[in-house]
Chains A and B, each alone.
Chain A
Amino acid sequence: MIALRRACFLLSLTAAILLLSACGGGGAPPEGQPAATQAAVPVVLRVGMSGSPDSLNPGAAYLTEATDVFELVYSTLIDMDFAGNYIPDLAESWSVSDDGLQWTFKLAPDAKFSDGTPVTAEDVAFTLLAYRDWGDFGYMSGYAAHFADVQAADEHTVVVTLDTPIGNMESQVLFCYILPKHIWEAYAGDVEAALGFTNDPMVGSGPFHLVEYKQGEFYRLEAVKDHYGRPPVIDEVVFQTYANQDALVQALRAGEVDMITELPSTVVPSLRTEADITVAVGTSRGLRDYIFNLSNPETCPVDAGGVCSGHPALRDVVVRRAMAHAIDKQQVIDIAELGLAQPGLGLVPAALGKFYASELEDYAFDIPLANKMLDEAGYLDTDGDGIRECPAGVDCGGRQLDIIMQIPSDIGSGPREAELLSGWWSQIGIKMTPQVLEGDTVTANCCPAFDYDMLIWGWTSDPDPSFILSILNSEEISTGMSETGYSNPEYDRLFAEQTVELDDARRIEIVHEMQRLMLDDLPYIIPYYQQEIQAFRSDRFTGWPVPAEGSNNILYLQDPVSLTVVRPVQ
């Protein structure tokens, strides 16, 4: 009885506390007045996101949520706008010597770190060399690999000497976050120590300062009002992590957040009917791909564990082209992505602007033509079971045109896409069976094992096409980077040529030519380029750089390009 009485007391106490806090709680009321009308109250933009940064240390972080913080808190020499143009950041201007080996960057003279120290050429030189010398510093090391030397010519001039001309030098410094030498020099030459540094508080020279950080929960950034390049209009921005997307969308509806960085495409129609919410759609650099196993006994990387068990008929380009003709990409988009994607062409997504070969013509959806192509190539259904057999000249080891498509389980739309493909391909006498597997199993089967017929997967490109193009290089077959086993000496030659080509127009020409080759040889079918979908409350902030209808601009509203220009609704 005593126990029960005590329990009753506890119950009423708990209830009282909960009630009290429910009534007395402060918080930001959704119907609150626009903050801008009161000068004393800081203008705070609240962003809701699904993930959270894995680390504040640029060398130890691998998630895009971490990159979002770095972009806001650190300067880079050069930045990129949403149309894909390089724009000045810490470097006010830059030039290259005729031989392409010496790059000179002129720095903004009044740049300061958040601790008040001026940003000098010494900091830049230290950072770029540290990234190179640490060797194992996350993504940073790859970008600095070709820097032979970096010198501070004077306080505001940096000269980078390369060991070989680089055609896409601007893109190499795009993500090289400039670190304060006076803090990081303690770790010079010791990558383990540098990686172990928590980097909290973060000292950077970007348009925002990190003032509060709770890992896995939220972080708060304060605007740098006297920033050298682009002082933000708002005073503060907070990023709150939501562990589930339904709650994220509800937070926007209830006015708990002003912008959300992602949302499931299923809620787009209902969000569009809300008066005070704008759903923004823009291109992204992500793409979906259907991968053919092209590895053959000659190119098979046996030493690296190559099995190369792909269906031999898929090595025949006629079969691949016929399969491409038997795909209605728009229908894949409408069903798998609810219409929110762009038809794909090659590995270079439309979001890469001038690098995207829009002049190329895709394989039209034409099932009779596909059938005719297979008939003419000798793939006939001789036993009348609806599945074609290989012609005498092609050794398929007794297999009919009966293939398996492996799908990593984390690609949610994969099974639906495979079902569509299977339906179309059965009309051209090709049987395809989808097989959903755990992601790491697919990785193990993929490459360099080449133990599959076809795969569904995807990539996200850099702003510069060099990296996405590199995965089709012959030399990547044994490294596991090449998923297809595609090998074409002409492609390899063009790739090498574009890496050192300094003339922008000529380099674009080469990149387009590579896409033509890719479309012709068809190691991949690219059904679509994904789109970025974000949403914001139009009754609270305005000035968001949302791409115009039909433009290929990317959408990334949490980028400094966007967060420095948004302003509260008056």
Chain B
Amino acid sequence: MARRDYLLKRAAWSLLTILFVLVLNFFLFRILPGDPTTSIAKDPRLTAETRAGLARRFGLDKPLVLNLQGGNPFDTQFFAYFGRLAHGDLGISFNFNRPVRDLLGERLGNTVLLVLGGQILAIVLGISLGLLSAWKNRTPFDTGAITFSLTAWSLPTFWLGILLLIIGSTYFGLPTAGKQTIGMSSASSLAQAADIGRHLLLPTLTFTIVLLGEYMLVMRSSVLEILSEDYILTAKAKGLSHVQILRHHALQNAMLPIVTLIALNLGFTVAGAIQVETVFSWPGVGSLIFEAVRRQDYPVLQGAFLLIAVSVILANLAADLLYGALDPRIKAP
């Protein structure tokens, strides 16, 4: 019973947070001066009728929160936004002239392809490196691994990306942009997959390198802490081998902080890697957000932020639940 209450409470909090994000989302973008029509409305080649039509089509001619000029008081941008959300409609992109839902759906797949690959590689490599480094504490290997991880972690993503792009395209003939070679749509699906793989290589590598350091460092310090515990000493005294100690006594406990880190990072996965996607012109959510900010495309930003918020909240919820399973000390109250 207690566990069910705990779960319900967590879920209720998550829902409330999402609702808060929804409201904040609406006002956040409208605090900014101007709207998408102002940038084109200045062009005298547009008739007044066209400018008015533009505002009308995007609902920007309506009052913001409450209609006090008579008529229906709820006939406003705010309530229209919630009304549409209730139907799962995220609005129409000002810039792309398409439903935001379709746009996000299309881009999300690409982002997951890129970010998930990079995350998995970074997690596996980072954790292994951290574990080894802790085990070989204060050896040249440890120093080397720490130096590498700190360097990788502090590299500016766009700089590393551009560097890899120049090297990759100059010496290895790797593509500089996009997800696939134009005109490949008629090729066999195997050839298409290989083509996408070639395009994925550099962005995935960039993403892996910048993420890897964090995992490595957290894992290393976590393992070091565990290894100084009394029960490890006991295990050593019992005559267990190094591998046995690492496997059975250290690893699971050391994983706790990593789980939080992974859950948080995975939550941000849908945000994509704005910088990596922009450097490599990868058609994902990240580059969509970048473009939307430049063009004040509120509906896309609102939709994207909602998507990010929901996934981060869900990932947090998942981490909470996973913690209970991993750590016997954490019992539902």
Which A residues contact B (CB, under 8 angstroms)?
1, 4, 7-8, 10-11, 14-15, 17-18, 20-22, 24-30, 44, 46, 48, 54-55, 57, 60, 62, 135-139, 141-142, 145, 191-192, 195, 212, 214-218, 220, 236, 238, 240-244, 246-248, 250-251, 253-254, 256, 438-441, 443-444, 462, 467, 470-471, 476, 480-481
Contact = CB atoms under 8 A, between A and B. Distances in A.
Nearest to A239: B182
A480 B194 contact: no
Nearest to B295: A54
A441 B166 CA distance: 38
Given A243-B279, A246-B162, A467 B96 contact: no
B97 interface: yes
Contact of A244 (B40, B124, B281): B281
Given A30-B173, A250-B165, A441-B33, A138 B193 contact: no
B169 A251 contact: yes
At the interface, is chain A mostly helix, strand, loop or mixed?
mixed
Interface string B23-45: 00000000011110011101011
B2 interface: no
Contacts of B165: 246-247, 250
A-B pairs, 4 with minimum CB distance: A21-B197, A440-B34, A136-B53, A25-B198
Interface residues of B, number: 71
Among A1, A8, A142, A476, the one with the most B-chain Cβ atoms within 10 Å of its Cβ is A142
Nearest to A140: B50
Interface stretch (B146-154, B283-291, B307-315): B283-291
Interface of B: 32-35, 38-40, 42, 44-47, 49-50, 52-53, 57, 95-98, 117, 120-121, 123-125, 127-128, 162, 165-166, 169-170, 172-179, 181-185, 187, 191, 193-198, 200-201, 204, 247, 251, 277-283, 287-288, 290-291
A241 B183 contact: no
Contacts of B128: 8
Nearest to A212: B185
Given A27-B198, A139-B45, A216-B283, A7 B123 contact: yes
Contacts of A1: 247, 251
A546 B323 CA distance: 66
A19 B248 CA distance: 34
B44 A250 contact: no
A256 B124 CA distance: 33
Contact of B283 (A27, A217, A256): A217
Contact of A137 (B50, B191, B288): B50
A25 B97 contact: no
A26 B191 contact: yes
26 contacts: A1-B247, A10-B120, A11-B120, A14-B121, A21-B193, A25-B197, A27-B181, A46-B182, A55-B97, A135-B49, A139-B46, A241-B177, A242-B177, A242-B281, A243-B177, A243-B278, A243-B279, A243-B281, A243-B290, A244-B281, A246-B279, A247-B162, A440-B35, A440-B39, A476-B44, A481-B44
Nearest to A216: B283
Contact of A247 (B44, B196, B280): B280
Contact of B182 (A20, A238, A254, A440): A238
